[in-house]
Structures are given as structure tokens and as C-alpha cells.
Structure 1
Amino acid sequence: MTNLSRFLEARTNDYRLIRHKQQAHFGGIDILVNNAGRGRGGPIEEIPFETYQRMIAVNVIWVFVATQEAARHIKPSGRIIQIGSSVTRYAAFPTASLYTLTKGAISGFNRSLVRDSGAKRITITTVHTDPTDTDMNPADGRVAKIVGPGTTIGHYGQPTEIVSAVAFLAGAENVADGR
């Protein structure tokens, strides 16, 4: 078993344990919000394979596992909300190909997941964010100098803006079609 396989197995078991504890305490799942993200970049020819594997693990496989587990236990009319990225819709910035690959996978995954979940009345939504001011990607950091000028809203986003959008989409009165 590779180090990556051990990592994935451990994280999958961690998630299942968390879900079991949550279900025992609160009952079924109403809402899943997947905010997985690891950002590493560079020229494609220079990205180590281990970096690729880790980003696929965190940004794609982990999202799949969490979504799969939630889908097994989510209540009818539940919500699955994935945090995506605006880089999947627009030309990103230099050195973003690996990150764009992983976030593009989530975008495509959700477009098909809508069809799988519609009969169960589970709403699937992707929130495509612009760069957001976080510890991993501060608005005054190295990457901000590259991506800041190209943001669609003219400034780095704030986590509270994403929280507000997610809270709105999670509301029982709001039904989105996943587009």
C-alpha cells in the first residue's frame, strides 16, 4: 500500500467515524458543505507527481468520499453544496493548471450528481468562488499579486461572503437546479 493509499484510507475512515457520531447525535444528514481545497501550482512540467497525487486526494477524492457517504444518509430535500472555483469557467492564471484540473473535476461531478439525486429531491449546488482571503491564500500574499488583478468582483473575496451564499442555498425555501 502506498503512502497516498494509507492517507486516503485513514481520511475515509475518519470521515465515516465523524458521520456515525453525527448521525447518532443528530439523526440523519440534512446538509453537506464540501469546502476541500489545496492549492499548489507551478509550470505543469515542474509539478512533482506527489504534489499531483496529494491535490487529487484532497480536492477530488475526499470530496467524492464525503459526498458518497452523505448521499447514503441524507434526508429527502437535503442539500449538498460544493465549494468550487471561478477558475473552472474562465482562463485562470499562469501556474494554475493543476488546481484548475481538480476544481474542474468537482464542477463536472456536480453536473452529473444533479441527475443522480433529483429523484431523491436532494439539491446539488456548486459555489464558484473567486480568490478568497484565507490563511492559505491571503489577499496580501504572493499569489495575490498574480491573481488579484483578474478577480471577477474586483477584489479578493471574504469568507463571510461565501458563508452568506452557502447559508442562503442551504435554506429550505431555496431550491437550486445545480447549474
Structure 2
Amino acid sequence: MSVFSGRKALVIGGSRGIGAAIVRRLSRDGASVRFTWAGSRARAEDIARETGAQAIRADATDRSAILGATRDAGPIDIFVFNAGICIAGDPLVLNPDDVDRMIDINIRAAYHGAVEAARAMPDGGRIILIGSTNANRVPFRGLAAYSMTKSALQSMVRGLARDFGGRRITVNVVQPGPTDTDMNPANGPEADLMHSVMAIKEHGCAEDVAAYVAFLAGHAARGITGAMQTIDGGFSA
């Protein structure tokens, strides 16, 4: 397919899980894709070889690295921010430095990356942030800080949608529920607990999230902006 032929995409956090699925989908649909990685060089190189995308090492906690990677990509048509971590547990005992690192990645890097991407983005571009269904619902203990960071993305996309709407740049957040990845496997110890509050009692898959991202990046979604796009099996119903 060549849905995105001639279009350039940058995925922040694209070496595994949902990010890797997004890189695969956009590449398959004809986009010229770059993606960042911070953990496993081997995984990043495997994805690059598989898809023809370009892998760039950039730690999302380093603002200058994210800005540099975004700037170096040149004018991009599709910007996807997928980097994120989850720090969960009793807020009275969580390490404050760990919480601050989560805020740096999940909120600060997302904001600065999206703004930098918009500077050179052609009119009609797409900015897509990957959030979480926990922005809408927190049914379990220990998720206050994590859910806070994902709720912040909702206000962020509403505001940026207004800021960039005059250039027909859309800004949206995709909010997955439990998704079968290394971080949250479908056979993990918490799976039954998560399924207990879902309408469809099974993990989603990264490819479904990637398909949602591809839709939002396409022409048919030109009127969707400042919106929360939830794909969670009814977790937040």
C-alpha cells in the first residue's frame, strides 16, 4: 500500500511494543519513517532492517536529544510520540526521583517534541500522542502519578489543536487499554484483574493501536483534532 507515499514520519519510542507496531504500519503504508530508541540497540536495529526505517538513539528524558532528533528529521508530516513509562505503587513510598522521571518522559518530552515537530510541519500534518485509558479511569490503587501524566496529554492535545488548527494540523491522543506487549503481557500476573473491569475481557494487540494511529494520520481523519481516541476493550466504559 502507498497511503503515505511521499510523507515523512517520526516515531518517538519505536523500537518495541506499540511503537514498533506503529513503525511497521506506517512503513508498510508507504511513509518514510524515522524512530527513536533508548534501550536495546539490537531491537532497534532489527526493526530498522525489517522496515527500512531509520533508527536514532535519543533518550526521552533528555530534552535536547528529543528536540535534536525532531529537528534533524526535517519537515515531517506525521509525528507520533509513543515513549512512556509506568511507575506504580503506594504514593507514600514511591521514589520521588522515579516519579519525576516519569513526568519528564510522559509529559515534558511529549509536549516539547510535539511543539518542535510543528515548527517545520507542512500544513495538514498530524501529531499523535500515545496516552492511556487510565487517563479516563483509575480502578486500581497505586496509579495516581501514572494516571496524572496521561491525563495531562488530554489537555495538551486540546490546547495544541487550537494552536495549530489554522494550519490544518490535527493533534490527538490515542489511549490504549491493556495491550499485549513486553510491559503488559496478556498472560501476566495482573491480567485477570485488568480483564475483570473490561467489557471485552482480553488484552488488545499493538497492531490494532497502530491501525488506529494510521487512520488518524490519514486523509479521512482530517476533521478529528483535540480528541481522545480510546481503544481499551471497554476498560473505561
**Do both share a fold (TM > 0.5)?**
yes
Match of 1:13 among 34, 39, 64: 64
Aligned length: 169
Unmatched 5+ stretches in structure 2:
1-57, 228-237
Q: Residue 32 of structure 1: SS of its match in structure 2?
A: strand
Give every structure 1 segment of 4 or more consecutive aligned residues whose post-TM-superposition deviation is greater than 6 Å: 7-10
Q: Is the 8 A contact 2:132 2:176 kept in 1?
A: yes
Partner Cα separation in structure 2 for residue 110 and residue 133 of structure 1: 26
Q: Is the 8 A contact 1:130 1:151 kept in 2?
A: no
Normalised by the length of structure 1, the TM-score is: 0.86
Q: Is the 8 A contact 1:123 1:178 kept in 2?
A: yes
Q: Which has the higher helix share?
A: 1
Question: Superposition pairs for residues 6-155 of structure 1, below 5 Å?
Answer: 11-23=62-74, 28-155=75-202
For the aligned residue pairs, the C-alpha RMSD in angstroms reads 2.0
Partner Cα separation in structure 2 for residue 166 and residue 159 of structure 1: 11
Q: Match of 2:225, as an amino acid? A: D
Q: Is the 8 A contact 1:37 1:58 kept in 2?
A: yes
Determine whether 1:159 maps to 2:206. Answer: yes
Q: Match of 2:89, as an amino acid? A: G
Q: Match of 2:130, as an amino acid? A: I
Q: Is the 8 A contact 2:60 2:66 kept in 1?
A: no
Q: Residue 78 of structure 2: SS of its match in structure 1?
A: strand
1:43–1:132 CA distance, 2 compared to 1 (3 A): same
For residue 226 of structure 2, what is the aligned residue in structure 1?
178
Report Cα offsets for 1:22-78 as digits up to 9, x if no partner: 22xxxx110101112101100111111011111101111111121111011111000
Report Cα offsets for 1:105-144 as digits up to 9, x if no partner: 1111111111111111101111111011111121222333
Partner Cα separation in structure 2 for residue 76 and residue 153 of structure 1: 38
Q: Match of 2:65, as an amino acid? A: D
Aligned residues: percent identity? 34
Q: Match of 2:82, as an amino acid? A: N
Normalised by the length of structure 2, the TM-score is: 0.66
Partner Cα separation in structure 1 for residue 81 and residue 203 of structure 2: 21
Q: Match of 2:226, as an amino acid? A: G
- 1:9 Cα offset (Å): 9.3
1:19–1:13 CA distance, 2 compared to 1 (3 A): same
Report Cα offsets for 1:67-111 as digits up to 9, x if no partner: 111011111000001111111112332111111011011111111
Q: Residue 41 of structure 1: SS of its match in structure 2?
A: coil
